[in-house]
Structure 1
Amino acid sequence: MTTIPNSSRYERYEDPHLTQRGDHSDSSALIDGPPVHEQTWVDPVTGTRGFLVIHSLVGGLATGGTRMRAGCTLSEVTDLARRMTLKTAAFGLPVGGAKAGLDIDPHHPEALEILQRFFTAMLPWLDKHWVTAEDMGISQTDLDEVLLSLGLSKSYHAALQLSDDPDQTLQRVLNGMATQAPGGLPLRDVIGGYGVAQACLGTANALGWNLADTTVAIQGIGTMGGGAGWFLHDAGAPVVAIADAAGTLYDPAGLEVPALLALRDSYGEIDRSGVPNHIQRLPSEAVLSLPSDILIPAAFSYALTTEAVPHITARTVVEAANSATTPQAEELLAVRGIPVIPDFVANAGAAAWTWWLLRGLVGTDPDDSFQLLSNQMQAKVAFMLSEWSESAVLPRRSALSFANANHRALANTHMTIP
């Protein structure tokens, strides 16, 4: 089993706001332990089923979004809660992982009333232990409005209670959330995609590739894929293919990503009437097989299956979507010498940034946030690919190892918020 590397190869962030605890009651020794709490709720009015899974607690806290999707299941929420534990542990954050879900179409006319009743039932967790956020089918605005009606200031209410001055901390967080990144978009909306881009840049650096010659193909141009494409283009990496639901746009010389992203409609698809004629228009699935050095699956889970593996020409895969690669496909890619940078590292930038903001480690200067995330992400990718190159250890296995080491180390800590 891989041990936590020394500082010359992998630097684990030491948080000045962590203190030691004398008990081990919060967290299991290993991330693969059973959930701390698993609950199925049935709405007494409509019969809608809802689920809350607290996979782990660190310092009494867990974090994870609330989603609303017709067909949502307990097993789906349980898997996502475990992945939140992996994300927080991989970045050494002093908080466990959780997730909630409602099995209902978010366009249902009573959706917000059902969400309010669900949160009412989960109020003890929201008040003291569970920090949630927007997820599939639920906006942060709707989430906060419902929580406000229940007497909770924000979705991170439980964390604010650790501050000596919750009002001051809340204002600091609100100021940080309102910070704009270069280009005018809110930092909170682009930091996740920036993290994916840094995972790609770290991959090129670790493997000794010239960035100007490192081509990238991106499946999905939402928050993660679109943001990653923008930042990679800005860094000088040629993004040669991007795919949305309408198809794949391909130019082996590199696409003008910002201009194409500006053509997205309300459904997140690029208006083809504004696309230059020289850009090739291919089926959506073509993005997986086009020549590239880095493939970013950012659209949906299990996009890379065993059937897709023979057609993949990329030299590396960086997962922006959760569970983008099936385990069997990842093994086959490894046989072909193609490493996969796992989702719980590559797409964890937004989660890490939120907790850095809560803890006062970053503020309203976007450069501070970008620099901290860049340092953290690139160090982790460098370590994973060093083990891959030297010992043929799967990057996921390396990441699981240091996430587990962090998880055990954090079991005896709790967080203080200035």
Structure 2
Amino acid sequence: MIIEHNEPLLRLTWTDPVTGTNGYLVVHTLTSGLATGGTRMRAGCTLSEVEDLARGMANKTATFNLPVGGAKGGIDFDPKDPRAMGVLKRFCSAMRPWLDAHWVTAEDLGVPQHLIDEVFAELGLGQSYHAAISRSADPERTLRRVQAGLNAPVPGGLLLGDVIGGYGVAQACLGVAASWGSPADETTVAIQGIGTMGGGAAWYLHEAGVRVVAVADAAGTLYDPAGLDVPALLELRDAYGEIDRERVPGEVQRLPRNAVIGTEADILVPAAISYAITEDNVMDVAAKVVIEAANAATTPEAEAMLTARGVPVIPDFVANAGAAAWAWWLLLGEVGADPADSFLRLRTEMQSKVALLLGQWEMDRVSPRRTGLQLAAANRVERLEHQPEEESALLIP
């Protein structure tokens, strides 16, 4: 039986006294007195959206058996607006009672990690994992470990903390290909979104030999059936994850932004916005499987239609959980500053979970979401049964 906790513990709405915009915090579950989940900023962000995302975080932490609950923050404001940093600072200041003791947050759509860490530093909280770090027997040592892990350099000139989520998505894709018995170089992928998550996934898929045939940003879809030169395209991105079209090679086709949904590819990775695949465009999906790199990328109605067509959806709380899981492994000292250790741990756990989900799909046509929720529920029950007296006292080394 699936036990899914649909009612959150807390819904909080904040109104910015300067701009009048709204911000939201939803704490879905607390485990050991803590919840984790990023803070996003986008024009049109709603309380119901943040609630859906907090529920997804609760499922994510339970699926990977992390000792923390799920939460999410959201601000209804354009991150490109010059006033955005001020709005973020005031939101975090207002949320300080939660950030100080119970809510571990991080980057999300429209809010890069370095900006939220800058805000935390100004508030005297050090780093956005503060609520967890403060429980450590040696907070300064734990902070150094976290900062070393986040800032560990990886091939390509980026930092481990910036790419680990995308690496996890790439491993989900490779896990799907392995379940089919398909070699990487015979597997094709289309990715909607080329920011932190989509760009990281594209990089590691390209590195593994997969043909990334399409990527989409706000300006449109870039398509090449022979495979895109992903590293070159990533070099052309601006601060908002948009590719400079004037420098794109001439053989690359320029298509409308939404064309990526219907691209002929083995795997479709929506890695940009929530609710990207809906009843209106679901029949355009040509891929054999959808891997949700964005939170809540597929509406329930669209997912039901895909399932009926025989197209499984690897849900977000599995496919994009890499950054959240890794952050807690780092906090708990289970991985350190060596990227190889982090990549091995995440590759092993992600591919094993994808194999479980697809195994149930192939054998009994049980949807990957249902199997994932069953795993999350089982992990929750086991944690409560074995650690009933430790729920409020997580200790971090």
* Fold conserved between structures, TM > 0.5: yes
Gaps of 5+ in 1: 3-29
Report the Cα offset of residue 279 of structure 1. 2.6
> Partner residue of 2:211?
238
Q: Quick one: structure 1 residues 96 and 263, their matched pair in 2 at CA, closer, same or farther if it must change by over 3 Å?
A: same
- Aligned partner of residue 393 in structure 1, secondary structure: coil
Match of 1:381 in 2: 354
The answer as to whether partners of 1:239 and 1:257 remain within 8 angstroms in 2 is yes
The CA deviation string for residues 296-317 of structure 1, in whole angstroms up to 9 with x for no partner, is 1112122222232332221111
Count of residues in correspondence between the two structures: 391
Alignment check: 8 A CA contact 2:211 2:227 kept: yes
Task: Name the residue aligned to 1:268.
Answer: 241
Counterpart pick for 1:195 among 165, 168, 173: 168
Larger Rg: 1
CA distance in 2, matches of 1:229, 1:102: 28
* 1:272 CA drift (Å): 2.9
Are positions 1:402 and 2:375 aligned together?
A: yes
2-side partners of 1:326 and 1:216: how far apart?
A: 21
Q: Secondary structure at the match of 1:259?
A: helix
Which residue identity does 1:417 align to in structure 2?
A: I
- The match for 1:207 is 180
| d(CA) in 1 for partners of 2:257, 2:276 | 12
Partners of 1:58 and 1:410 within 8 A in 2: no
CA RMSD between the two structures: 2.1
What is the deviation of 1:78? Answer: 1.4
Query: How far did 1:167 drift?
Result: 0.9
TM-superposed deviation, 1:117: 4.2
Distance 2:230 2:19 in 1: 45
C-alpha spacing 1:376/1:121, structure 2 compared with 1 (3 Å):
same
Runs of 4+ in 1 over 6 A off after TM superposition: none
> Could you tell me which amino acid in structure 1 is paired with residue 7 of structure 2?
P
Equivalent residue of 1:416, what SS? Answer: coil
Q: For residue 222 of structure 1, report the CA deviation from its aligned partner.
A: 1.2
**1:36 has 2:9 as partner:** yes
How far apart, CA to CA, are the structure 2 residues paired with 1:388 and 1:119?
42
Q: Which amino acid aligns with 2:97?
A: P
Instruction: Say whether the 8 Å CA contact 2:267–2:291 is kept in structure 1.
Output: yes
Structure 1 counterpart SS, 2:222? strand
- Work out the percentage of aligned pairs sharing the same amino acid: 62
Residues 251-290 of structure 1 aligned to structure 2 (within 5 Å):
251-290=224-263
| Matching residue of 1:13 | none
Counterpart Cα distance in 2 of 1:44 and 1:284: 36
Q: How far apart, CA to CA, are the structure 2 residues paired with 1:102 and 1:380?
A: 32
Aligned counterpart, 1:75: 48
Q: Do the aligned residues in 1 keep the contact of 2:198 with 2:271 (CA within 8 Å)?
A: yes
| Displacement after TM superposition at 1:110 (Å) | 5.3
CA separation in 2, counterparts of 1:110 and 1:252?
41
Aligned counterpart, 2:395: 416
Instruction: Determine helix, strand or coil for the equivalent of 1:249.
Output: strand
Query: What is residue 198 of structure 2 aligned with on the other side?
Result: 225
Q: 5+ unaligned residues in a row in structure 2: which ranges?
A: none
TM-score (norm 2): 0.92
**2:289–2:312 CA contact under 8 A, matched in 1:** yes
2:28 is aligned to 55
Distance 1:286 1:120, change over 3 A: closer
Q: TM-score, normalised to structure 1's length?
A: 0.87
Aligned AA (1:290): T
